[in-house]
Structure 1
Amino acid sequence: MRLIADLHIHSRFSRATSRDMDLPHLAQWAAWKGIDILGTGDFTHPDWFRELSQELEPAGDGVYRYGDTYFLLTCELSAIWSVGGRVRRVHFLILAPDLTAVARINRELSRLGNLAADGRPTFGVSGERLVTTVLGACPEAVVIPAHAWTPWYSIFGANSGFDSLEEALGEAAQHVFAIETGLSSDPAMNWRLSALDRLALVSFSDAHSPARLGREACVFDLPELSYSALASAIRSKDPKRFLLTIEFFPQEGKYHYDGHRACGVILSPKETKAHGGRCPVCGRPLTIGVMHRVEALADRPEGFRPPGAIPYRSLVPLEEIIAQALGQGRDTKGVRDEYLKLVSRFGSEFRVLLDLPEEELSPGTPPKILSTIRKVRAGELQIRPGYDGVYGEIRIPLDEGPKELSLF
């Protein structure tokens, strides 16, 4: 069965997260999006863990259900430690097989830090110790370095990361079989590093509000809906079971290019080198983006594709397409109303974006929106890359009508 999974999200117990990140809203938006299985996020937080234990119904091997939506137990952890004269900050996505295992993981992690402080708790220990603590409590857990390339809080980040998994995690690196590519990179960028060939490349939304669910996701074809089947598909990188990843256009990510937000300066890696890594306006150090960091570590040319690589599709979220077509802001009532009409008519957002041919969309889709969907499918996009915490801007050239709007 084909399953779309978004396993990296947050609950309302994480900082800077919508209060609507609760089970009822998550289940509703998963249905609208066409997501078959969601991560719970934040299972380390005592209040959220209590809600999950009370509200989720067991639905098989490591899978739980709320209404018609399936959930896997997940969380994100932050490790901060010093090595080599630098402070390192790395985030990890954790998948766990059941609530009993989560209780064991939480018990061990509580010895390292305060789990109630944030839905994504921070620990003053090395990444190696954090990984061994989680796997010591639950050997069946899956540990995935999260958003692996962002300048801060990632395993390869320019400001606080490392040049390899082994440098970052020591002996624990052997237990890591996947990394999350993050919004500012895509699989093609990661294929340029031969050191990553043994790893599965996964993509999830890291959503902090329900409407952002599914902006990145993984698509599987599993013999059964279970924790073990999904974990095995990721580990094996079997293209018959791990079909593809759904990607943000990496240029949209807020750390794709180099730059300095305060001065409005955005630079390519080549331009950054020409300026000696400093802002040409104020002279301060630039924030080095993901593309630059990939270029620094890559040992293959752009366009290289390793044998057996899992394919991917880059999409523009449906609300953003509608916003461009109507000439309205993405979060306006008019865009939301049209979005709900389309997902109600056609089943889900992913059916509109991935599955349905134009002739099936045509009878029930306003012409301007249909034309904009057609342009996105054809790759007729103009993208201004994101930089230094500023999201990139996508423009879809319109034939006529509303002025094209920035989406961010």
Structure 2
Amino acid sequence: MAAQLIITNLYIQVVLIIFEYMRIVVDLHIHSCYSRASSEDMKFENIDRIASIKGIDVIGTGDFTHPKWREEMKKLIEENGLYRLEKGKTRFIISGEVCTTFKYKGKTRRIHHLIILPSIEIAEELSNRLSIYGDLKSDGRPNLSMTGAQLVEEVMEFGENCMVIPAHIWTPWFSLFGDKGGVDSIEECYEDQTPHICAIETGLSSDPPMNWRVSALDSYTLVSNSDSHSLLKIGREANIIEVKELSYNEIIKTIMFNKYKVETIEVDPAYGKYHWSGHRKCGISFPPKEAKKLKGICPICGKKMTKGVAERVEELADREEGEGPKDKQNFLRILPLIDLIAVALNKESFSNEVQKKYWEIVNELGNELKVLLEEPEENLKKVCGKELTEL
């Protein structure tokens, strides 16, 4: 009897180990030094180091379509569909962003898409095919003369574990629902290829509650990423994904089929520069109701304002603010540590004092996300000080 009990307990322990999930932090969308407006420091060695400091386990390579960046990618070591530097801690997942330009209902549409792929070899083959639609050498985020549906069709030729995600879907320029060049539904962009779209990227200027107001988005997994063009912006938004193993297929499968195991890390939407409607040159912005009263016209110069994300959500929403689907993904709201320090010290985030304090904190307490989400308050007060801890 005792022997049976021991065997039973061992069996239970083995089962628990087999089905135990690990939580990994994933930032799928960044850019390399070959993208316009990107820092020259966006190279693999630097990205690996900063991602570790930020608390990112898996990060997108970004810019797989650029031939010079792809040559750098080939130096990485493959493990379970993910990649790493020889002595690196961070895992890289093959990713890239492209812009498709096409005509729809007499208007030019420019929409950005995030592509996730299982191997460098597929990235090479797909890039060769996409090169007929645009110049891939000119920018890490190339402009392609093709529809969203054509793009998805090209990508899915390489297997069902490839993924296209509409990028920062509400941004006024270059996004799925953007006021300047977007459309009003996912189907209008991806047409017969819509069933291959499983996830959407919220972008800095929107958060899950804003997206929940559009019931047509209920079936899609929400993901958030940094879209970083510089090292310190890495991980400003990211995803916590529960997986059984650290592999490409496990990450993709979870995003595709188990969205409730994907928890997004979000900044306040007001942190994004396109949250409210406004006119940057005149330094003004307005919430949706006020912008509507002004009929979208800048009260200072009389020119048309850029319609912000909040106003665009109002246009497409079929739910009131605060409403949403019955079952919702979890999300966490943070502000980057560097910005919190800047507020506490009343200094600019790029100042020497703020930078010094940032490195002091992460060197003492560990990675940034651990500091923001997990570190006990008493430890924070010792290292960060009372004022910063209470922010």
Both proteins in one fold, TM over 0.5: yes
| SS of aligned partner of 1:251 | helix
Conservation of the 8 A alpha-carbon contact between 2:221 and 2:259? no
- Alignment map for 1:108-257 (pairs within 5 Å): 108-239=129-260, 241-242=261-262, 244-257=263-276
The amino acid across from 1:318 in the alignment is L
Partner Cα distance (1:207, 1:138) in 2: 28
Partner Cα distance (2:66, 2:384) in 1: 44
Matched, 1:353 2:369: no
Matched, 1:63 2:82: yes
The amino acid across from 2:351 in the alignment is T
1:300 maps to which of 315, 319, 333:
319
Q: Which whole-Å deviations, capped at 9, do the CAs of 1:185-222 have from their partners, x for residues lacking one?
A: 00000000110001011000000000000000000121
Partner Cα distance (1:306, 1:36) in 2: 30
Structure 1 residues 356, 366: CA separation in 2 closer, same or farther (over 3 Å shift)? closer
| SS of aligned partner of 1:338 | helix
Q: Which whole-Å deviations, capped at 9, do the CAs of 1:12-63 have from their partners, x for residues lacking one?
A: 0000000000011101101110111110000110000001102x11122x11
The amino acid across from 1:58 in the alignment is E
| SS of aligned partner of 2:307 | coil
Q: Name 1:384's counterpart in structure 2.
A: none
| SS of aligned partner of 1:89 | strand
Q: Name 1:372's counterpart in structure 2.
A: 388
2:99 maps to which of 59, 62, 78:
78
- Alignment map for 1:71-110 (pairs within 5 Å): 71-110=92-131
Matched, 1:276 2:292: no
Q: Which whole-Å deviations, capped at 9, do the CAs of 1:231-256 have from their partners, x for residues lacking one?
A: 111112342x32x1101110111111
Partner Cα distance (2:346, 2:34) in 1: 34
Matched, 1:4 2:20: no
Partner Cα distance (1:373, 1:255) in 2: 29
| SS of aligned partner of 2:124 | helix
Higher Cα Rg: structure 1 or 2?
2
Matched, 1:338 2:357: yes
Structure 1 vs Structure 2 CA RMSD: 1.2
Shift of 1:374: 2.0
Q: Name 2:11's counterpart in structure 1.
A: none
Conservation of the 8 A alpha-carbon contact between 1:94 and 1:143? yes
TM-score, normalised to structure 2, is 0.92
| SS of aligned partner of 1:64 | strand
Partner Cα distance (2:33, 2:210) in 1: 32
Partner Cα distance (1:117, 1:227) in 2: 29
Q: Name 2:344's counterpart in structure 1.
A: 325
Shift of 1:162: 0.7
Shift of 1:174: 1.2
Matched, 1:43 2:59: no
TM-score, normalised to structure 1, is 0.88
Partner Cα distance (2:34, 2:259) in 1: 35
Deviates more, 1:279-288 or 1:90-99: 279-288
Partner Cα distance (1:125, 1:366) in 2: 50
| SS of aligned partner of 1:211 | helix
Conservation of the 8 A alpha-carbon contact between 1:191 and 1:304? yes
The amino acid across from 1:205 in the alignment is S
Q: Name 2:330's counterpart in structure 1.
A: 311
Shift of 1:281: 2.2
Structure 1, unaligned runs of 5 or more: 376-408
The amino acid across from 2:234 in the alignment is L
Partner Cα distance (1:51, 1:21) in 2: 12
The amino acid across from 2:387 in the alignment is S
Conservation of the 8 A alpha-carbon contact between 1:108 and 1:137? no
Structure 1 residues 329, 282: CA separation in 2 closer, same or farther (over 3 Å shift)? closer
Conservation of the 8 A alpha-carbon contact between 1:104 and 1:138? no
Matched, 1:26 2:47: yes
Partner Cα distance (2:216, 2:351) in 1: 44
| SS of aligned partner of 1:291 | helix
Shift of 1:184: 0.3
Shift of 1:345: 1.1
Shift of 1:166: 0.5
Structure 2, unaligned runs of 5 or more: 1-21
The amino acid across from 1:353 in the alignment is L
Quote the sequence identity (%): 44
Conservation of the 8 A alpha-carbon contact between 1:101 and 1:138? no
Partner Cα distance (1:264, 1:107) in 2: 44
